[in-house]
Structure 1
Amino acid sequence: MTVHHRAEGPATAPALLLGPSLGTSSALWDRVAPELAACHRVVRWDLPGHGGSAAGLIGPGATVADLAALVLELADTLGLERFAYAGVSLGGAVGLHLAVHHPERLTSLAVICSSAHFGGEQAWRERAALVRREGLAALAASAGSRWFAGDFTVPELVRDHREADPEAYAACCDALAAFDLTGRLRDIRTPTLLIAGRQDPATPPAHLREIADAVPGAALVEIPGASHLAPAQCPGAVLTALRTQLDGPARQGMRVRREVLGDAHVDRAQARQTPFTARFQDFISRYAWGEIWTDPTLTRRERSMITMTALVAHGHHDELAMHVRAARRNGLTPEEIGAVLLQSAVYCGVPAANSAFAVAQRVLAEEPDAGGPSETDGPGAD
């Protein structure tokens, strides 16, 4: 049995798992997840005994490691080998545990209104005992003041708190009581973003600054007007911060794309972009250029040779012209380009290579030092 979850967005998009705070459900992300789902496969999960998750998934003495194991089980069930992760409070602690103990699974981490420790063990042990003894009614009554700044509230989340299973809630308190990753923060190498609510009494900004100071390269954003449940109270600010974090591969890919194909081509491709093609352009920047072309295993010269061969084999002449120009930009000589096409004749066929030589000859003749017209780009999308 896995934790209850809700998936949104394209199945082929980069995966993003969203973790909840104690006492809430996946509804915590209602004003953020739909926007993120435009370019990500967003998966929201519920804590045991919260929302739609079974209470029996954890028991007394549970740890954050137990919750992280449930998240990994969910990811495995969904076929997600690697994923970005963002979590609030206890959900953020799960993300920190994953970054320390399972870094190979994470592409990035956002820790929101959370901590590397939660103020000591005793208070959480006492809360667990109270809930086991008296239930959640008293805590639910004061949830709004603990979670939100000013008069703001989200009735659905307060209701979720009231309806959570007391035993599972208490087990989550046990997990918070035992959690302390302070000594392991410097081991984290996953790109990490910390988001703090300036008016958060549960995990004040100092807790997030402590993590930011210890995790190499971590970034910290403080949101004015936000208390403990920042995604519910200030969704716009959280969205902006998360998009900056999640779009890192796309930005890197755009830089490499420009270096290989040239500013003129990329500017024209961007100018032709429409709402219909925007996701495809993002896909190209993120995957082709942000992951494949940035992999240091092969040089750009080698990638140019492989790419030209593949384009010859499939007869993609417009794209071949573009990548002949890219090959020159990547340092290949006309003689080396000719050698690649000759090699292609053996394995892709003489007619394919014959057409490819005609394309390459035209492109090479357009080079300024060849006395031809200035460089122009074909209609290829990449």
Structure 2
Amino acid sequence: MGTELNEVVVTGNSARQRISNPRLGAERLELSKMIQVPAFGGEADIIKSITLLPGVRSEGEGGGGFEVRGGNAYQNLVLVDGISLYNPSHVMGIFSTFNDNALGSATLYKGAIPAMYGDATSSVLETTLAAGDMENYHGSASIGILAAKIKAEGPIVKDRLSFAVAARRSYVDAFLKIVPQYRSTVMNFYDVSAKLRYCPSPSHLIDGSFFISHDNMAVADLMGLYWGNLGGSVNWVARANDRLTFTTTAALTHFSPEMSMDMMDVNEAMWTYIHNYSLNERLRWQISEWHGLEFGLRSELLKVKSAEWMLNASREREIMSLWENSAWAEYSGSFAEKLDVTAGLRLNVASVLSQNRFHEFQSAYDIPNQFDGKTYIEVEPRIGIIIDTKGPEIRTTVNA
């Protein structure tokens, strides 16, 4: 008696496909293969996987960042659903802030960076959270050597609204309490991510994302170090037709490191933060199968407390704000399968805000406030050219 099998489709990402990609230097990471990479403490880490790519290396032993083609870690822009992340690491860089259970996709731009991205001179790591299943409920939990994870997803309204929630918490300090001399040590981290997806119609898609991560490292009441990211975003994708797509993104990020020390007659504390609020509008026009145009506008407000510290009776504080507005246009196309071109132009107008509500200066010394508002204008041309000189296997690339 024979059994009829369903159709089986095998797909792959060959070296030839990667080379023929017009956006050469863009690496779309296969998250399903991350589990094949040796994991420290049972934690699959996207940052550790990235460092295995050509042109990318680890920031160093104990460092949680990555360096791309000679750049530094702080020259990378790291995003999750449009939320900017700062210092995306746990336990001083041993783990990254990304929970592999929560991620849906990840792309690393390490060649010609698209014109829509600013504030990055080395690379852009663009990640998205996985959306929940619209049909069925799923749940999972795991306990590793150093951390425990849990995930839940499913429909709220079938085929319309879904949710996905993932959380992770370490318990390193639980092991430290076993050793008497380390019982006063606090060392833990946690991160929580959530995503709501709403499909009001086939041509509209709305995602609401939430992300929080936090680290706590302290020794009783002697000293402590705390840092973390808190962010949220709303992404609305509207398709006017098969060729025209609008994407609107509103996002915010609060990054807040703190440090304190109280020992040997020295009482010191320091607070800093970065508050980032942004609104982004993007239009994609697919002129034909081989040619496309993209236009966009972005407005971003940055409020930075570079330092507020207290040393015994002395206290200082400085808060600065920057309002940045950008516009960009980019073309991508192929000509006769011999020439691929990506060309873009980005205009940035950055204004340092001088009003009292955006700036604050306090010094323990008699130093006058010399803060003045200024505006800086930058034009960033970008071009990438791929010339097929001897067939699909040998290509010449020029990036600028």
Instruction: Tell me which interval the TM-score lies in, with the shorter structure as reference length.
Output: under 0.3
Higher RCO (Cα < 8 Å, 6 or more apart):
1
TM-score, normalised by the number of residues in structure 1: 0.27
Based on CA coordinates, which of the two structures has the bigger radius of gyration? 1
Question: Which has more helix, going by share of residues?
Answer: 1
TM-score, normalised by the number of residues in structure 2: 0.26
